[in-house]
């Protein structure tokens, strides 16, 4: 299994899809997977996503894609940080 890195991609247009991310980043190296974060309740894009890439291409992809215009918005691309454990709110949700 190849060594991979996960890139954070922020400021995505609301219409961006996982296929869009894969196609844009594949121009600069091997893309293993792409995911657009969606709202759990509405299913709409949250305006950011992640692209998992082969490690040897990560730095070149960050340099090539950071600031690139996608749908009229400049992308923010950097290496994803591990998700921090957040305390769970045990209060029931109001709907």
**All domains of the chain, ordered by start, with CATH?**
4-40+58-76 (3.30.70.330)
| Choice between 94 and 12, residue whose per-residue pLDDT is larger | 12
Residue 93 binned pLDDT confidence (cut-offs 50, 70, 90): low
Q: What's the predicted TM-score (pTM) here? A: 0.84
Mean pLDDT (whole number) for 47-57: 96
Q: What is the pLDDT of residues 2-51, one digit of tens each?
A: 799 999 999 999 999 999 999 999 999 999 999 999 999 998 999 999 99
Report the C-alpha gap between 4 and 54 in whole angstroms: 4
């Amino acid at each position: 299994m190849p060594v991979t890195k996960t890139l954070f991609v922020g400021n995505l247009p609301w219409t961006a899809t996982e296929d869009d991310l894969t196609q844009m980043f594949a121009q600069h190296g091997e893309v293993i997977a792409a995911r657009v974060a969606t709202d759990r309740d509405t299913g709409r894009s949250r305006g950011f996503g992640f692209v998992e890439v082969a490690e040897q291409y990560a730095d070149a992809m960050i340099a090539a894609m950071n600031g690139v215009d996608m749908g009229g918005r400049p992308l923010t691309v950097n290496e994803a940080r591990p998700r921090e454990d957040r305390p769970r709110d045990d209060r029931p949700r109001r709907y």
